[in-house]
Amino acid sequence: MFAYNKHMDQAKAVVEKMLAEADIKINGERPWDIRVHNENVYKAFVRGGSLAFGEAYMAGDWDCDQVDELIAHLFRSHVVDRARVSFKNVAAYLSTFKSRGAKRRAFDIGKHHYDIGNNLFERMLDKRLTYTCGYWVTARTLDEAQEAKLDLVCRKIGLKAGQHVLDIGCGWGSFAKFAAEKYGARVTGVTVSKEQVALGRELCKGLPVEFLLQDYRDIEGTFDHIISLGMFEHVGTKHYKEYMEVAHDHLKDGGLFLLHTIGANANDGTPDAWIDKYIFPNGAVPTVAQIGGAIENLFVMEDWHNFGADYDKTLMGWFKNFDAHWPEIAATYGETFYRMWKYYLLACAGSFRARNVELWQVVLSKNGVPGGYRSAR
């Protein structure tokens, strides 16, 4: 018993020291301070890193009034970077040897994440069901921010009535519906989620919009423009070049390809273990260098736009909706799911707030826009 308590005390001291570097107190009174309900979490944190940290929150072993600000403190202080040597990181490193993005696993993310229930996403997202970062330059609400983002995409590719756009990772068709209604475009959307296809077809009924349940590598035909909003994170590092080759092969010579993706400031070779296990399995967030390498000899980079700070507002908007409507779906998902989803949304908001990750829109052409590309903002 003495040895157990001694080890627990040592683990607590390690955790206290790390948190103090981020100006976080255990059982403190500030909104970002952590309240511990189970003393065993200290040993788990030391051994399991971010995976254990998230799992302990799911289990109710600790709480915090503002998880988003707690996570922002951790990233701003670079405590997370200095704590890389842990079981969490060994597990995450080993996971990189899995074939992330392989075609045989293409539908896994659809089943694990996007198919968990349209009733959840309908209550969390904006009225158009846009599950990517909004554009908050002049927007005051989530609905306005998402419409502004969709319009920004249309303007960046110079969309004209009658043009045919390929949407890789189309979700429930928010872009497709917007482009068809507002710009008179025809859109073909590709997704690996059966639930997205079913609801998307219903929402876009009567419009020149087609939904295909398939992997991006099975796309056929050529298109005036291609867009991809929030899907590149599921491609996998080893497949970045292959993905760009597919986009190149299916884009008409005078067209534009707009890539909208979360971006990493640095590549440490490992995904976050908790996110990888519970939210987005087999995902990978690209760096500038990785995107640059993937487009070499295929595309001219016409524009690179970073509005990552807007993802903080978007995620907080999603959490506000999710939390407000939770009583309507609580019986379906249960308390553990609530804590898991809350942690996912707020932890991601904190990460963007600390500028640990970014949001990029990259506009690419096959041969360069004659006379030069004029950026839309």
Nearest to 314 by CA among 128, 129, 132, 147: 132
Cβ atoms 146, 128 nearer than 8 A: yes
Give yes or no: 348 in active site: yes
Q: How far apart (Å, rounded) are the C-alpha atoms in residues 278 and 91?
A: 14
Q: Which of 133, 154, 170, 348 is catalytic?
A: 348
Backbone angles phi, psi at 6, to 5 degrees: -65, -45
Q: Cα–Cα distances in Å, from 173 out to 115, 170, 204, 219, 339? A: 15, 6, 7, 17, 28
Residues with Cβ within 8 Å of 10's Cβ and at least 6 positions away in sequence, in order, are none
CB count in 10 Å sphere of residue 139: 18
Which three-class secondary structure string do you get for the chain?
A: CHHHHHHHHHHHHHHHHHHHHCCCCECCCCCCCEEECCCCHHHHHHHHHHHHHHHHHHCCCEECCCHHHHHHHHHHCCHHHHCCCCHHHHHHHHHCCCCCCCHHHCCHHHHHHHCCCHHHHHHHCCCCCCCCCCCCCCCCCHHHHHHHHHHHHHHHCCCCCCCEEEEECCCCCHHHHHHHHHHCCEEEEEECCHHHHHHHHHHCCCCCEEEEECCHHHCCCCECEEEEECCHHHCCHHHHHHHHHHHHHHECCCCEEEEEEEEECCCCCCCCHHHHHHCCCCCCCCEHHHHHHHHCCCCEEEEEEECCHHHHHHHHHHHHHHHHHHHHHHHHHCHHHHHHHHHHHHHHHHHHHCCCEEEEEEEEECCCCCCCCCCCC
| Catalytic (active-site) positions | 348
